[in-house]
Amino acid sequence: MTDPINVLLIGAGEINFGSVEGPWNHTLRLERILGARLRVIALIDVDGARAKAAIDAKLASPASSAYANCKVYPTVAEAARALLPDVPHLVIVGAPPFARGTDIPGRDLELQLVNAFPRCALFVEKPVSSGPEDACWRVAEVLAKNGSIVGVGYMLRYLKAVQMIKQIIADEGLVVMGTNARYVMAYEWARKLAWWDKTRSGGPIVEQATHFCDLSRYFGGDVQLNSVVAHSVQHHEAPGQLRAKRFDEEVIPPENRLPRLTSATWKYKDGAVGNLTHVIALHGNTYDTEFEVYADGYKFKLVDPYSTPKLYIRRPGKEQEEVHTFVDDDPFHTELATFVDVVEGRSPHEQI
Protein backbone atom coordinates (compact mmCIF):
# COMPACT_ATOMS: atom_id res chain seq x y z
CA MET A 1 0.00 0.00 0.00
CA THR A 2 1.08 3.58 -0.59
CA ASP A 3 -1.51 5.63 1.30
CA PRO A 4 -0.26 7.65 4.31
CA ILE A 5 -0.91 6.25 7.78
CA ASN A 6 -2.00 8.87 10.32
CA VAL A 7 -0.52 8.12 13.73
CA LEU A 8 -1.38 9.72 17.06
CA LEU A 9 1.18 9.34 19.84
CA ILE A 10 0.22 9.33 23.51
CA GLY A 11 3.22 10.07 25.71
CA ALA A 12 6.48 11.89 24.94
CA GLY A 13 8.60 9.63 27.13
CA GLU A 14 10.78 6.57 26.80
CA ILE A 15 8.16 4.22 25.36
CA ASN A 16 7.68 6.26 22.21
CA PHE A 17 11.04 8.03 21.95
CA GLY A 18 13.62 5.71 23.53
CA SER A 19 15.68 5.47 26.71
CA VAL A 20 19.25 4.79 27.76
CA GLU A 21 18.53 1.54 29.59
CA GLY A 22 16.10 -0.24 27.30
CA PRO A 23 15.21 -0.90 23.66
CA TRP A 24 11.79 0.80 23.75
CA ASN A 25 11.31 3.31 20.95
CA HIS A 26 8.04 2.86 19.06
CA THR A 27 8.52 5.89 16.81
CA LEU A 28 11.82 4.53 15.50
CA ARG A 29 10.15 1.24 14.53
CA LEU A 30 7.24 3.00 12.84
CA GLU A 31 9.69 5.10 10.83
CA ARG A 32 11.39 1.92 9.59
CA ILE A 33 8.14 0.06 8.93
CA LEU A 34 6.17 2.80 7.20
CA GLY A 35 8.90 5.01 5.74
CA ALA A 36 7.43 7.86 3.74
CA ARG A 37 3.89 6.67 4.55
CA LEU A 38 4.25 7.62 8.23
CA ARG A 39 2.40 10.78 9.15
CA VAL A 40 2.51 11.62 12.88
CA ILE A 41 -0.36 14.07 13.19
CA ALA A 42 -0.28 14.73 16.94
CA LEU A 43 1.50 14.02 20.22
CA ILE A 44 -0.50 14.15 23.45
CA ASP A 45 1.35 14.77 26.70
CA VAL A 46 0.53 16.90 29.73
CA ASP A 47 4.16 18.06 29.76
CA GLY A 48 4.13 20.41 26.80
CA ALA A 49 7.83 21.26 27.05
CA ARG A 50 8.86 17.61 26.98
CA ALA A 51 6.55 16.93 24.06
CA LYS A 52 7.91 19.87 22.07
CA ALA A 53 11.48 18.74 22.73
CA ALA A 54 10.67 15.23 21.49
CA ILE A 55 9.15 16.55 18.25
CA ASP A 56 11.96 19.08 17.74
CA ALA A 57 14.46 16.22 17.93
CA LYS A 58 12.50 14.31 15.29
CA LEU A 59 12.34 17.37 13.05
CA ALA A 60 16.13 17.44 13.15
CA SER A 61 16.36 13.75 12.20
CA PRO A 62 16.25 11.95 8.83
CA ALA A 63 12.58 11.15 9.53
CA SER A 64 11.64 14.82 9.80
CA SER A 65 9.01 14.72 7.06
CA ALA A 66 6.87 12.32 9.12
CA TYR A 67 6.59 14.95 11.87
CA ALA A 68 6.32 18.09 9.76
CA ASN A 69 2.68 18.73 10.68
CA CYS A 70 2.67 17.17 14.16
CA LYS A 71 0.89 19.22 16.80
CA VAL A 72 1.17 18.92 20.58
CA TYR A 73 -1.92 18.71 22.79
CA PRO A 74 -2.35 18.16 26.55
CA THR A 75 -5.50 16.01 26.33
CA VAL A 76 -7.36 13.64 24.01
CA ALA A 77 -10.37 15.99 24.00
CA GLU A 78 -8.32 18.93 22.75
CA ALA A 79 -6.64 16.80 20.11
CA ALA A 80 -10.01 15.48 18.92
CA ARG A 81 -11.43 18.98 18.52
CA ALA A 82 -8.38 20.15 16.58
CA LEU A 83 -7.75 17.09 14.41
CA LEU A 84 -11.20 16.32 13.03
CA PRO A 85 -11.67 15.37 10.25
CA ASP A 86 -7.96 14.50 9.99
CA VAL A 87 -8.35 11.50 12.31
CA PRO A 88 -5.65 8.94 13.14
CA HIS A 89 -5.65 5.41 11.77
CA LEU A 90 -3.48 4.22 14.65
CA VAL A 91 -2.83 5.41 18.20
CA ILE A 92 0.31 4.38 20.09
CA VAL A 93 -0.63 4.54 23.78
CA GLY A 94 2.67 5.02 25.59
CA ALA A 95 1.37 6.75 28.71
CA PRO A 96 2.10 5.26 32.17
CA PRO A 97 -0.21 2.42 33.31
CA PHE A 98 -1.85 4.54 36.01
CA ALA A 99 -3.38 6.72 33.25
CA ARG A 100 -5.10 3.92 31.33
CA GLY A 101 -6.88 0.60 31.42
CA THR A 102 -9.81 1.64 33.64
CA ASP A 103 -13.14 3.45 33.41
CA ILE A 104 -12.16 5.76 36.28
CA PRO A 105 -12.18 9.42 35.12
CA GLY A 106 -8.61 10.57 34.51
CA ARG A 107 -7.40 6.97 34.19
CA ASP A 108 -9.45 6.01 31.14
CA LEU A 109 -7.32 6.83 28.11
CA GLU A 110 -8.67 3.98 25.99
CA LEU A 111 -12.28 5.02 26.56
CA GLN A 112 -11.42 8.64 25.75
CA LEU A 113 -9.78 7.50 22.51
CA VAL A 114 -12.66 5.23 21.51
CA ASN A 115 -15.13 8.06 22.10
CA ALA A 116 -13.02 10.54 20.14
CA PHE A 117 -11.87 8.22 17.32
CA PRO A 118 -14.18 5.18 17.20
CA ARG A 119 -12.55 3.53 14.16
CA CYS A 120 -8.96 3.99 15.29
CA ALA A 121 -6.73 1.01 16.16
CA LEU A 122 -4.97 1.09 19.54
CA PHE A 123 -1.50 -0.24 20.28
CA VAL A 124 -1.24 -0.14 24.09
CA GLU A 125 2.08 -0.46 25.85
CA LYS A 126 2.30 -3.03 28.59
CA PRO A 127 1.09 -3.38 31.26
CA VAL A 128 -2.46 -2.65 30.17
CA SER A 129 -3.19 -1.03 33.53
CA SER A 130 -2.17 -0.69 37.15
CA GLY A 131 -5.79 -0.05 38.14
CA PRO A 132 -8.52 -2.32 39.56
CA GLU A 133 -9.00 -5.63 37.76
CA ASP A 134 -12.77 -5.27 37.39
CA ALA A 135 -12.37 -1.84 35.78
CA CYS A 136 -9.88 -3.28 33.32
CA TRP A 137 -12.36 -5.97 32.26
CA ARG A 138 -15.05 -3.33 31.72
CA VAL A 139 -12.72 -1.44 29.40
CA ALA A 140 -11.99 -4.65 27.49
CA GLU A 141 -15.72 -5.20 27.06
CA VAL A 142 -16.20 -1.69 25.63
CA LEU A 143 -13.34 -2.21 23.18
CA ALA A 144 -14.76 -5.57 22.10
CA LYS A 145 -18.25 -4.14 21.55
CA ASN A 146 -16.75 -1.29 19.55
CA GLY A 147 -14.86 -3.75 17.35
CA SER A 148 -11.59 -1.99 18.09
CA ILE A 149 -8.33 -3.51 16.86
CA VAL A 150 -6.11 -3.60 19.95
CA GLY A 151 -2.53 -4.77 20.39
CA VAL A 152 -0.48 -4.90 23.60
CA GLY A 153 3.29 -4.45 23.69
CA TYR A 154 4.24 -7.96 24.82
CA MET A 155 6.80 -8.29 22.07
CA LEU A 156 8.88 -11.20 23.36
CA ARG A 157 6.43 -13.66 21.79
CA TYR A 158 7.66 -12.35 18.44
CA LEU A 159 11.29 -13.36 18.96
CA LYS A 160 12.61 -15.92 16.49
CA ALA A 161 14.01 -17.88 19.42
CA VAL A 162 10.60 -18.04 21.11
CA GLN A 163 8.97 -19.19 17.90
CA MET A 164 11.69 -21.82 17.52
CA ILE A 165 10.84 -23.22 20.97
CA LYS A 166 7.16 -23.24 20.07
CA GLN A 167 7.88 -25.08 16.82
CA ILE A 168 9.97 -27.78 18.52
CA ILE A 169 7.28 -28.30 21.17
CA ALA A 170 4.68 -28.72 18.43
CA ASP A 171 6.85 -30.94 16.20
CA GLU A 172 7.86 -33.26 19.03
CA GLY A 173 4.44 -33.35 20.68
CA LEU A 174 5.90 -32.14 23.96
CA VAL A 175 3.95 -31.23 27.09
CA VAL A 176 5.45 -28.33 29.03
CA MET A 177 6.43 -29.38 32.55
CA GLY A 178 7.51 -25.99 33.86
CA THR A 179 8.79 -22.48 33.18
CA ASN A 180 11.40 -20.43 35.00
CA ALA A 181 11.79 -16.70 34.40
CA ARG A 182 14.59 -14.54 35.81
CA TYR A 183 14.71 -10.76 35.31
CA VAL A 184 17.60 -8.87 36.94
CA MET A 185 17.36 -5.14 36.43
CA ALA A 186 20.21 -2.63 36.14
CA TYR A 187 18.78 0.30 38.09
CA GLU A 188 21.46 3.00 38.04
CA TRP A 189 19.86 4.91 35.14
CA ALA A 190 16.30 4.42 36.38
CA ARG A 191 15.77 7.85 37.90
CA LYS A 192 12.11 8.57 37.20
CA LEU A 193 10.42 8.87 40.59
CA ALA A 194 7.11 7.50 39.32
CA TRP A 195 8.80 4.21 38.46
CA TRP A 196 9.99 3.75 42.05
CA ASP A 197 6.54 4.47 43.52
CA LYS A 198 4.40 1.33 43.38
CA THR A 199 1.19 3.34 43.75
CA ARG A 200 2.01 5.01 40.43
CA SER A 201 3.85 2.29 38.50
CA GLY A 202 2.30 -0.83 40.00
CA GLY A 203 5.70 -2.13 41.05
CA PRO A 204 8.50 -3.95 39.18
CA ILE A 205 6.43 -7.02 38.28
CA VAL A 206 3.78 -4.88 36.62
CA GLU A 207 6.26 -2.45 35.06
CA GLN A 208 8.90 -4.88 33.82
CA ALA A 209 8.33 -8.55 34.53
CA THR A 210 4.95 -8.68 32.80
CA HIS A 211 6.94 -9.46 29.63
CA PHE A 212 8.05 -12.67 31.30
CA CYS A 213 4.63 -13.27 32.83
CA ASP A 214 3.27 -13.14 29.29
CA LEU A 215 5.95 -15.55 28.04
CA SER A 216 5.14 -17.85 30.94
CA ARG A 217 1.48 -18.02 29.94
CA TYR A 218 2.47 -18.37 26.29
CA PHE A 219 4.19 -21.67 27.12
CA GLY A 220 2.41 -22.85 30.27
CA GLY A 221 -1.15 -21.73 29.60
CA ASP A 222 -3.60 -20.19 32.04
CA VAL A 223 -2.59 -19.94 35.69
CA GLN A 224 -4.47 -21.15 38.76
CA LEU A 225 -4.50 -17.72 40.38
CA ASN A 226 -5.13 -19.07 43.87
CA SER A 227 -1.89 -21.07 43.60
CA VAL A 228 0.37 -18.00 43.30
CA VAL A 229 2.77 -17.64 46.25
CA ALA A 230 5.38 -14.86 46.45
CA HIS A 231 8.08 -13.59 48.79
CA SER A 232 10.00 -10.33 48.54
CA VAL A 233 12.95 -8.37 49.89
CA GLN A 234 11.68 -4.97 50.98
CA HIS A 235 13.50 -1.63 50.73
CA HIS A 236 13.93 -1.33 54.50
CA GLU A 237 15.53 -4.77 54.98
CA ALA A 238 19.30 -5.25 55.06
CA PRO A 239 19.47 -7.09 51.69
CA GLY A 240 17.39 -4.34 50.12
CA GLN A 241 19.87 -1.47 50.51
CA LEU A 242 20.93 -0.03 47.13
CA ARG A 243 24.20 1.89 46.73
CA ALA A 244 23.92 3.20 43.15
CA LYS A 245 20.65 5.14 43.30
CA ARG A 246 20.89 8.42 41.40
CA PHE A 247 17.78 9.99 42.90
CA ASP A 248 16.34 10.77 46.33
CA GLU A 249 14.06 7.90 47.35
CA GLU A 250 13.26 9.63 50.63
CA VAL A 251 10.65 11.80 48.90
CA ILE A 252 8.57 8.65 48.28
CA PRO A 253 6.49 7.52 51.27
CA PRO A 254 8.09 4.37 52.76
CA GLU A 255 4.94 2.29 52.22
CA ASN A 256 5.06 3.11 48.47
CA ARG A 257 8.69 2.13 47.80
CA LEU A 258 9.52 -0.85 45.62
CA PRO A 259 10.61 -4.27 46.81
CA ARG A 260 14.14 -5.11 45.68
CA LEU A 261 13.52 -8.79 44.93
CA THR A 262 10.31 -10.69 44.28
CA SER A 263 10.15 -14.45 43.85
CA ALA A 264 6.89 -16.17 42.92
CA THR A 265 5.72 -19.66 42.04
CA TRP A 266 2.40 -20.93 40.73
CA LYS A 267 0.58 -23.87 39.19
CA TYR A 268 -0.74 -23.78 35.64
CA LYS A 269 -4.24 -25.13 34.98
CA ASP A 270 -2.79 -27.85 32.75
CA GLY A 271 -0.52 -29.10 35.55
CA ALA A 272 2.83 -27.44 34.90
CA VAL A 273 4.60 -25.22 37.45
CA GLY A 274 5.88 -21.68 36.90
CA ASN A 275 8.50 -19.59 38.65
CA LEU A 276 9.45 -15.93 38.34
CA THR A 277 12.19 -13.93 40.04
CA HIS A 278 12.60 -10.18 39.54
CA VAL A 279 15.59 -8.41 41.12
CA ILE A 280 16.60 -4.75 41.29
CA ALA A 281 20.33 -5.20 41.80
CA LEU A 282 22.70 -4.47 38.92
CA HIS A 283 24.60 -1.24 38.30
CA GLY A 284 25.25 0.33 34.91
CA ASN A 285 22.58 -0.08 32.23
CA THR A 286 22.80 -3.73 31.09
CA TYR A 287 20.08 -6.06 32.34
CA ASP A 288 20.46 -9.82 32.92
CA THR A 289 17.41 -11.79 31.76
CA GLU A 290 16.74 -15.49 31.15
CA PHE A 291 13.69 -17.64 30.49
CA GLU A 292 13.57 -21.45 30.64
CA VAL A 293 11.04 -24.02 29.48
CA TYR A 294 11.17 -27.67 30.58
CA ALA A 295 9.58 -30.72 28.95
CA ASP A 296 10.35 -34.43 29.01
CA GLY A 297 13.82 -34.80 27.51
CA TYR A 298 14.15 -31.09 26.74
CA LYS A 299 15.40 -27.92 28.32
CA PHE A 300 15.15 -24.60 26.50
CA LYS A 301 16.98 -21.56 27.88
CA LEU A 302 16.49 -18.14 26.30
CA VAL A 303 19.20 -15.67 27.32
CA ASP A 304 19.25 -11.89 26.77
CA PRO A 305 15.96 -11.64 24.85
CA TYR A 306 16.05 -7.83 24.80
CA SER A 307 19.25 -7.40 22.76
CA THR A 308 21.02 -10.38 21.12
CA PRO A 309 18.97 -13.44 22.07
CA LYS A 310 20.66 -16.80 22.51
CA LEU A 311 18.74 -20.04 22.74
CA TYR A 312 20.33 -23.06 24.45
CA ILE A 313 18.63 -26.38 23.76
CA ARG A 314 19.33 -29.72 25.40
CA ARG A 315 17.67 -32.60 23.55
CA PRO A 316 17.17 -36.28 24.40
CA GLY A 317 20.37 -38.26 23.96
CA LYS A 318 22.53 -35.15 23.72
CA GLU A 319 24.01 -33.83 26.93
CA GLN A 320 25.85 -31.08 25.05
CA GLU A 321 23.59 -28.08 24.57
CA GLU A 322 23.16 -26.66 21.10
CA VAL A 323 23.36 -22.89 20.89
CA HIS A 324 21.46 -20.62 18.50
CA THR A 325 22.31 -16.91 18.34
CA PHE A 326 19.84 -14.51 16.77
CA VAL A 327 21.49 -11.34 15.49
CA ASP A 328 19.43 -8.30 14.53
CA ASP A 329 16.17 -9.86 15.69
CA ASP A 330 13.99 -6.96 16.78
CA PRO A 331 10.68 -8.22 18.24
CA PHE A 332 9.44 -4.64 18.71
CA HIS A 333 9.73 -4.18 14.97
CA THR A 334 8.11 -7.54 14.22
CA GLU A 335 5.17 -6.95 16.53
CA LEU A 336 4.49 -3.42 15.30
CA ALA A 337 4.86 -4.52 11.66
CA THR A 338 2.34 -7.31 12.31
CA PHE A 339 0.01 -4.82 13.97
CA VAL A 340 0.23 -2.43 11.03
CA ASP A 341 -0.58 -5.33 8.70
CA VAL A 342 -3.66 -6.12 10.81
CA VAL A 343 -4.78 -2.49 10.76
CA GLU A 344 -4.47 -2.52 6.98
CA GLY A 345 -6.29 -5.82 6.68
CA ARG A 346 -3.34 -7.93 5.57
CA SER A 347 -3.21 -10.24 8.62
CA PRO A 348 -5.84 -11.82 10.91
CA HIS A 349 -6.41 -10.29 14.35
CA GLU A 350 -5.29 -13.50 16.04
CA GLN A 351 -1.67 -12.82 15.05
CA ILE A 352 -1.33 -9.82 17.38
Contact 302, 179 (CB under 8 A): no
Identical topology for domains 5-153+332-351 and 160-328 = no
- Reported as a single tens digit per residue, the pLDDT across 173-201 is 999 999 999 999 999 999 989 889 998 88
Q: Examine the pLDDT at 351 and tell me if it is beyond 50.
A: no
- When pLDDT is averaged across residues 164-170 and rounded to a whole number, the result is 98
Cα separation of 322 and 23, whole Å? 27
The hierarchical CATH code for the domain 5-153+332-351 is 3.40.50.720
Beta bridge partners of 185: 280
**Domain range annotation of the chain:** 5-153+332-351, 160-328
**CA distances (Å), 255 to each of 77, 238, 281, in order?**
35, 16, 20
**Which residue from 270, 321, 333 is spatially nearest to 292, judged by alpha carbons?**
321
Contact 261, 145 (CB under 8 A): no
- Reported as a single tens digit per residue, the pLDDT across 256-309 is 999 999 999 999 999 999 999 999 999 998 999 999 999 999 999 999 998 899
How many Cα atoms within 13 Å fall on the side-chain side of residue 120? 28
**Which residue from 70, 71, 140, 73 is spatially nearest to 100, judged by alpha carbons?**
140
Cα separation of 269 and 93, whole Å? 32
Contact 86, 8 (CB under 8 A): no
The CATH class that applies to domain 160-328 reads alpha beta
